[in-house]
Structure formats: C-alpha cells, structure tokens
Structure 1
Amino acid sequence: MHTAEFARLLDLIVKDYQAHMEEELAPTLTTSQLTVLELLEQQGNLKPSDLIPFLSTTPAAVTMLLDRMERGELIRRDRDENDRRNVWVSITDKGQSEVERGIAVRNAYLSGVLDRISTHNQQLLVFLLGKISGTK
C-alpha cells in the first residue's frame, strides 16, 4: 500500500501551493478571499450563507471574512429591497481586478508545476486526480 507516501507527497504539494499563493496574493488578498471573489464572478450576487459550503467554515467566520473584504473594497453587501433580512454580496471593480490577478498568480504557479512533466502525464494526472476526488 502506498498510503503513507501518498499522504506525504500530498501534504508537501498542498503546503507548497498554500505558501506560494498566500505570499503572492498578499497584502491585498488571501486564498479564501480569492475563492469568494471567484464564486461571485461566476455566479453573481450571493447570500453569505451560500458561501459556507465552498469555504468549509462557520457562519461567524464567513461574516468576519466578508467584513475584511468589505473594508478592503473587494465586495459590497446590500440589503434585499423586498426582504430586508436578506443580504446580498457582490463583487466591486477592485474585487474584479483582484480576482483576475489571483487567477493569473494561480495559473502561473500551476503551469510551472505541471511543466515538470510531459503533456501526456499532465492529462493522466488530471484523470487520476478526478478519479480520486470522485468527480470523474
């Protein structure tokens, strides 16, 4: 069984990725903030509760994250005109430029990592990761 070796390599890859992303996105963005901005860009306005499954965190932590993002002018929160209990989160122009920068940082990093192996092996790796993740 290769479980221990897989765990060691996965941990190494994840730590390297996270360290690189946090360093390159700083000081205006974190990886969690990038996730929020990408969701808003893809899906449009969302309620804070819609973000919880994508961030694997608590409602209180989402609120704190959105507070920081609003102070940084990455997002805007507006009350629903028809139901004032609902709050909608939307991306600002600054948030849009930061999500584009964040995606470029991620793509550059991942391209550098994947360039270490052949195109065929890249395809195989993506296929195998899809199998492991249960998405393919």
Structure 2
Amino acid sequence: MYTNEFAKLWFKLTKDLRIHMETQLAPTLTESQLNVLEYVLAADRMKPSDLIHYLATTPAAVTTLLDRMEKNELIERVRDDRDRRIVWIHVTPKGIEEAKRGTEIRESFLTEYLSRISAHNQQLLVYLLGKITNIEHQRIS
C-alpha cells in the first residue's frame, strides 16, 4: 500500500500551504479567519454555532475567533430583528477585501504547485481527492 508515502506527501503539502498562508496573510488575517470569511460570504450570513461544523472546533474557540475578527473589523455580529436571541455574522467591507486577498494568496500558491503537472493530471488529482474525501466535484474546465 501507498499509505505511508501518501501521508508523507500530504503532510508536506499541507505544512507548506499552512506556513505560506500564515506568513502571507499576517498581520491582518489568519488562515482560520479566512475560512470563516469564505463560509460566511458563501452563505451571506451565519450564526456562530453554524461555524462549529465547518471549523471542527469548540463553541468557545469559535467565540474567541469571532471576537478577534470583530475587533479587527472583519465581521460584525448583528442581533436578529425578530428573535433577539439569534446573532448573525456579517462580513464587513474590510472583511470582503481581506477574503479576496487571502483567496488570491492561496490560489497563487496552489497554482504554482499544480503547474508542475499537466492540466489533465490536475483534473485527475482533483477527481481522485474528491473520491478520497467522498466529495463529488464538477468537471473542471
């Protein structure tokens, strides 16, 4: 089996990506904050409890993360007009700009990595990773 080799390669790729993202995003953004911005932007708004599933963390950790993001004006928390117990997370204009910057940084890094293989193999890699993670991917054009 190739599990040991896969584990080593996967660890290297994810380590390289994590280090690149943390250094390039600093000091205004972290990779976790970028993930939150992307999730909230995709959904338009979210409740803090919705993020627990996506981030695979605790409610306390989500609260701490959101506190930092709100302090840095990346998000704002707004109480629901109809039910004041519900708090919605909204991305601020600064958060939108930082999310764009972060995705460009990640895309540039991954493009550099993927450019080492042909377009066909890139498509195959995405397909196979989708199989491994049980996520169906649309055909990449």
Deviations 1:33-88 (A, max 9, x none): 00111112111111100111111100000000000000000000111122111111
Distance across 2 between alignment mates of 1:78 and 1:123 = 41
Superposition TM-score, scaled by structure 1 size? 0.97
**1:46 aligns to 2:43 (yes or no):** no
- Identical aligned pairs, as a percentage? 57
Q: Which amino acid aligns with 1:24?
A: Q
Distance across 1 between alignment mates of 2:91 and 2:10 = 33
Q: Which amino acid aligns with 1:110?
A: L
Distance across 1 between alignment mates of 2:128 and 2:9 = 15
**1:96 aligns to 2:86 (yes or no):** no
Name stretches of at least 5 consecutive residues in structure 1 with no aligned partner.
none
Residue of structure 1 equivalent to 2:75: 75
Q: CA RMSD in A?
A: 0.8
Q: Which amino acid aligns with 1:122?
A: Q
Name stretches of at least 5 consecutive residues in structure 2 with no aligned partner.
137-141
**1:37 aligns to 2:37 (yes or no):** yes
Distance across 2 between alignment mates of 1:2 and 1:134 = 19
Q: Which amino acid aligns with 2:11?
A: D
List, as ranges, runs of 4+ consecutive aligned residues in structure 1 with deviation greater than 6 Å: none
**1:126 aligns to 2:126 (yes or no):** yes
Q: Size of the alignment, in residue pairs? A: 136
Distance across 1 between alignment mates of 2:92 and 2:6 = 40
Deviations 1:22-42 (A, max 9, x none): 111111111110011111211
Q: State how 1:6-25 maps to structure 2 within 5 Å.
A: 6-25=6-25
Distance across 1 between alignment mates of 2:126 and 2:79 = 41
